[in-house]
Chain A
Amino acid sequence: MATFVNRFHLLRYGASLLRCQRSYTTDVPKITTHYTIHPRDKDPRWKDVDMERFGDEADVVIVGGGPSGLTAAIKLKQLANDQGKELRVCVVEKASEIGGHTLSGACLEPKALNEVFPNWKEMDAPVTQEVTSDKFYYLTKSARIPMPLLPGMPITNHGNYLIRLGNFVRWLGEQAEALGVEIYPGCAASEVLYHEDGSVKGIATNDVGIAKDGSPKESFERGMELHAKVTMFGEGCHGHLSKTLFKQFNLRENCEPQTYGIGLKELWEVDPALHQPGRVEHTVGWPFDRHTYGGSFLYHLGEKDAPYVALGIVVGLDYTNPYLNPFQEFQRFKTHPANIDLFKSGKRIAYGARALNEGGYQSIPKLTFPGGCLIGCSPGFLNVPKIKGIHNAMKSALVAAESVFETITDENKTSPTVGLDPESYEEKMRASWTWAELKSVRNVRPAFHTALGLYGGLAYTGLVYYLLRGKEPFTLSHGDPDHARLKPASECKPIDYPRPDNQVTFDLLSSVALTGTNHDQDEPPHLTLKDDSVPMARNFAVFDGPEQRFCPAGVYEYVEREDGNGYRLQINAQNCIHCKTCDIKDPSQNINWVCPQGGEGPAYNGM
């Protein structure tokens, strides 16, 4: 049932529960049918089904074909080829094509790319538009106040490139295949496999052919097992397998819980007269109040034949008002007088959203365990004041690949477990520039959590960070985890968002259609609930169903029951764009996102 922190909480929420007794009934229609909640070995419909799995061996299996996963694969193959060694590296990726689930701003710091491919410019990498102008603004409802950007501040972008990360990842995929990496898109890793001694043995890909009610279809086929000496997990922010690994190996016992933000993004084709390739704009302030950590980015991309602008907002998921709707805030943002002309004469091409890490230095878990390690945003190396994480993700992948390679090829090394532990990765990471960078900005994000809110955070960055660059002797804590931050709906005011005008602002469903997302309509919903009765009993009763507002794809809806007895939660799993926000922000932590069938989800093109 609901999690109560202490008796005071219980009294407070218990009282509102009693008040709401009449708005829901205790017979809740079954929502969750997934086998992770209803195991198949106890299910009579699965009695005669052959559950054996085909298995294969590789040296290294990498979960996730994003910047970190592909960089690790490339580095491993580069090392193997240099030393004349054979190394079988397999990458499994849940999107149907490499880059299909990739979404980011993005403004790339080429530091890590220089280390992977020093001659990337000659290799035709889709990294061509250098930042030509860099602006930082404070927005009010009608005005835009420029803020000083002094060199050395985290948000300056000299020497960086504006890229479309999906295209960059696709290019990385091509380089990886050229080096001999086996890449399997459309294959989702759905289970971590363990040896008898508890070390990681590899992963198993998803089963296919399970009907919506959880029973086997005629097309049922078991997933495949991929065994490896070391398995590297690069699932991105809040990866679902990484989540199980944190628990299994207690990797988070010496770090703070991760905090997150949700990033929403659109790609617009604008009037060439208004297009300034290389222009970077970041804003804080409107439409967010000073207690909501939020800001926007707007990048004029330098595509050869099209005047594209990538823009979006990031909202910290530690917001307290359950009526906040990040998607609507994003639509509202576009109406600001400073930018509205760009959109009035432009055309929206794409939309997407993804959660991102904001915990930084304080939230980095232990990185290695017997049989594998975590790379990229799965442990979380995003530099929040810079809002850049790609360079750090790639660096972590490079360092991890070096450690994994030496662990595997070291003939003298004896391991206590069958799965090898690339222990040197953690110490090498601590000595790397990523660690130093994250340590220096560690206090910027938590500085926001005072009564001064945004102004306190900005003041801290402008004064303390600028002068001390992180050398201050204290480390601020993030405080409560994001999911515990919501205030009950009764204490908050609903926000009145303007209706979409279908020229500058749009409604949610037509935006979701642009993501090209799709899931098999006859498969168990992959947004699983640990307890089907909690959404009505707690989320709706206390917080007025915040998931219907924070989901950027309209997956969650509280609809009137057919029998007229109040409401029920309806999960439109087909709309999901794999952003992971619900798993993070659910105040009851009742939603567990698991991986749907491989090849499903959004079909982003160069996002």
Chain B
Amino acid sequence: MSGLRVLVGCKRVIDYAVKIRVKPDNTGVITEGVKHSMNPFDEIAVEEAVRMKEKKLASEIIAVSCGPTQCQETLRTAMAMGADKSIHVEVDAASYENLQPLHVAKILAKVAQDVKADIVFTGKQAIDDDCNQTGQMVAALLDWPQATFASKIEKANGDLTVTREIDGGLETIKVQLPAVLTADLRLNEPRYATLPNIMKAKKKKMEKKKPEDYGVDIGPRQSILKVEDPPVRQAGSKLDSVETLVSKLKDAGLVPS
């Protein structure tokens, strides 16, 4: 069980506290100059991988990110948290707008085979698209078992015992290695990337690759028709009696008259 190699996927997304603005031409959201940071669920995945390394379950952590040049900052944060090295799969800004989870899953699957990873670890979903697909797709492409929405990961002989957060509560499963894991919120509280670690991370290796190096075609399979703001919330009205409420419901056709 010693010496697991963990490949952690990190996505650079708009910081969760920033107010999102739709582009005037409704083709997307404004990202130019806006504060970005690592997807919070991916931070949790990185933290868990680092803890596994501290517990001697893992021996090497490789962080990987697909996107434009700025993704390198995200990878440096991952290395400052404890990843040993990173891989930046460069996708130019224009193609990045159409990069979908399937493309990323194909890339991650190829990278995992390339580096001979034992675990592929990502956040459960990205906070910008909320797709919740990449981890599951990687498992299917690699034909590996998957343990998604993990809130607790423990070693059990040669396998992993993972507690998953599901709609009905908690589910505990045993997963054979190699496997794909996706992190949920309560898995851990990520550490801070402190300055001494940021300085050390500058010396860690960052490989620069392209999707073509892995034989993945990132041509768009979807086109975005329109992006718009959610509708402005209409004011409610205060009613003074149950009778008024019932008659208003009947008028609106919500209750049979």
Partner-B contacts on A (CB < 8 A): 54, 56, 92, 96-97, 100, 166-167, 170, 184, 186-187, 205, 208-209, 217-219, 221, 223-224, 269, 306, 349, 513-514, 516-518, 597, 603, 605-606
Partner of A224, one of B24, B191, B195: B195
B232 to A, closest residue via Cβ? A502
Whether A219 contacts B35 by the Cβ 8 Å rule is: no
Please indicate the chain A residues that have their CB under 8 angstroms from the CB of B21 in the complex: 349
Partner-A contacts on B (CB < 8 A): 15-19, 21, 24, 33-35, 37, 189-196, 198-199
CA distance A597 to B193 in the complex (A): 11
CA distance A349 to B18 in the complex (A): 12
Partner of B37, one of A56, A96, A187: A96
Partner of A96, one of B19, B33, B35, B199: B35
CA distance A100 to B198 in the complex (A): 19
Whether A184 contacts B195 by the Cβ 8 Å rule is: yes
CA distance A209 to B193 in the complex (A): 11
Please indicate the chain A residues that have their CB under 8 angstroms from the CB of B24 in the complex: 269, 306
Please indicate the chain A residues that have their CB under 8 angstroms from the CB of B191 in the complex: 209, 219, 221
Q: Which of B19, B191, B192 has the most CB of A within 10 A?
A: B192
Partner of B18, one of A219, A269, A597, A603: A603
With contact pairs A97-B35, A603-B35 given, residues A516 and B18 touching in the complex (Cβ less than 8 Å): yes
Please indicate the chain A residues that have their CB under 8 angstroms from the CB of B19 in the complex: 513-514, 516
Partner of A218, one of B33, B37, B189, B199: B189
Please indicate the chain B residues that have their CB under 8 angstroms from the CB of A166 in the complex: 33
The 9 closest A-B pairs by CB, nearest first: A518-B17, A603-B35, A516-B18, A208-B192, A54-B196, A605-B33, A224-B195, A219-B191, A187-B195
Partner of B198, one of A96, A184, A269, A349: A184
CA distance A54 to B194 in the complex (A): 11
A188 to B, closest residue via Cβ? B195
With contact pairs A516-B17, A518-B17 given, residues A605 and B35 touching in the complex (Cβ less than 8 Å): yes
Please indicate the chain B residues that have their CB under 8 angstroms from the CB of A224 in the complex: 194-196
Please indicate the chain B residues that have their CB under 8 angstroms from the CB of A184 in the complex: 195, 198
Question: Known contacts A92-B195, A167-B33, A597-B192; can you find 6 more A-B pairs with CB under 8 A?
Answer: A56-B196, A97-B35, A209-B191, A219-B192, A223-B194, A223-B195
With contact pairs A219-B189, A221-B191, A516-B35 given, residues A603 and B17 touching in the complex (Cβ less than 8 Å): yes
A53 to B, closest residue via Cβ? B196
CA distance A170 to B32 in the complex (A): 13
Give min CB distance, B244 to chain A, whole Å.
27
Please indicate the chain B residues that have their CB under 8 angstroms from the CB of A349 in the complex: 21
List, sorted by A's number, 14 A–B pairs whose CB atoms are closer than 8 Å. Answer: A56-B196, A92-B195, A96-B37, A167-B33, A184-B195, A186-B193, A187-B195, A205-B194, A209-B191, A221-B191, A223-B194, A516-B19, A518-B15, A606-B33
Whether A209 contacts B192 by the Cβ 8 Å rule is: yes
CA distance A167 to B33 in the complex (A): 8
CA distance A605 to B195 in the complex (A): 24
Q: Which of A205, A306, A603 has the most CB of B within 10 A?
A: A603
CA distance A275 to B193 in the complex (A): 44
A520 to B, closest residue via Cβ? B192
A226 to B, closest residue via Cβ? B195
Please indicate the chain B residues that have their CB under 8 angstroms from the CB of A219 in the complex: 189-192
Please indicate the chain B residues that have their CB under 8 angstroms from the CB of A606 in the complex: 33
Whether A100 contacts B35 by the Cβ 8 Å rule is: yes
Please indicate the chain A residues that have their CB under 8 angstroms from the CB of B189 in the complex: 217-219
Please indicate the chain B residues that have their CB under 8 angstroms from the CB of A269 in the complex: 24
Please indicate the chain A residues that have their CB under 8 angstroms from the CB of B33 in the complex: 166-167, 170, 605-606
Please indicate the chain B residues that have their CB under 8 angstroms from the CB of A100 in the complex: 35
Please indicate the chain B residues that have their CB under 8 angstroms from the CB of A205 in the complex: 194-195
CA distance A100 to B17 in the complex (A): 13
Please indicate the chain B residues that have their CB under 8 angstroms from the CB of A96 in the complex: 15, 35, 37
A95 to B, closest residue via Cβ? B35
Give min CB distance, B88 to chain A, whole Å.
18
Q: Which of B34, B37, B195, B199 has the most CB of A within 10 A?
A: B195
CA distance A599 to B192 in the complex (A): 10
CA distance A397 to B253 in the complex (A): 70
CA distance A518 to B24 in the complex (A): 26
Q: Which of B33, B37, B190 has the most CB of A within 10 A?
A: B33
CA distance A96 to B12 in the complex (A): 14
Please indicate the chain A residues that have their CB under 8 angstroms from the CB of B18 in the complex: 516, 603
B21 to A, closest residue via Cβ? A349
CA distance A224 to B196 in the complex (A): 7
Please indicate the chain B residues that have their CB under 8 angstroms from the CB of A221 in the complex: 191-192, 194
With contact pairs A514-B19, A518-B17 given, residues A208 and B35 touching in the complex (Cβ less than 8 Å): no
CA distance A255 to B252 in the complex (A): 72
CA distance A531 to B34 in the complex (A): 39
Give min CB distance, A489 to chain B, whole Å.
34
CA distance A208 to B194 in the complex (A): 8
CA distance A100 to B199 in the complex (A): 21
Give min CB distance, B45 to chain A, whole Å.
16
CA distance A602 to B41 in the complex (A): 22
Give min CB distance, B83 to chain A, whole Å.
17
Give min CB distance, B40 to chain A, whole Å.
12
A55 to B, closest residue via Cβ? B196
CA distance A186 to B35 in the complex (A): 12
Whether B199 contacts A56 by the Cβ 8 Å rule is: yes
Please indicate the chain B residues that have their CB under 8 angstroms from the CB of A306 in the complex: 24
A515 to B, closest residue via Cβ? B19
Please indicate the chain B residues that have their CB under 8 angstroms from the CB of A516 in the complex: 15, 17-19, 35
Q: Which of A170, A205, A513, A605 has the most CB of B within 10 A?
A: A605
CA distance A269 to B21 in the complex (A): 12
Please indicate the chain B residues that have their CB under 8 angstroms from the CB of A186 in the complex: 193
CA distance A518 to B18 in the complex (A): 9
Give min CB distance, B2 to chain A, whole Å.
25
Q: Which of A170, A219, A306 has the most CB of B within 10 A?
A: A219
Please indicate the chain B residues that have their CB under 8 angstroms from the CB of A56 in the complex: 196, 199
Please indicate the chain A residues that have their CB under 8 angstroms from the CB of B17 in the complex: 516-518, 603
CA distance A445 to B191 in the complex (A): 49
B189 to A, closest residue via Cβ? A219
Whether A603 contacts B15 by the Cβ 8 Å rule is: yes
Please indicate the chain B residues that have their CB under 8 angstroms from the CB of A517 in the complex: 17
Give min CB distance, A393 to chain B, whole Å.
22
Please indicate the chain B residues that have their CB under 8 angstroms from the CB of A603 in the complex: 15, 17-18, 34-35
CA distance A96 to B21 in the complex (A): 20
CA distance A597 to B18 in the complex (A): 18
CA distance A411 to B247 in the complex (A): 92
Give min CB distance, B204 to chain A, whole Å.
16
Please indicate the chain B residues that have their CB under 8 angstroms from the CB of A513 in the complex: 19
B202 to A, closest residue via Cβ? A182
With contact pairs A513-B19, A516-B17 given, residues A605 and B34 touching in the complex (Cβ less than 8 Å): yes
CA distance A513 to B199 in the complex (A): 33
Give min CB distance, A397 to chain B, whole Å.
23
CA distance A170 to B194 in the complex (A): 22
Give min CB distance, B78 to chain A, whole Å.
14
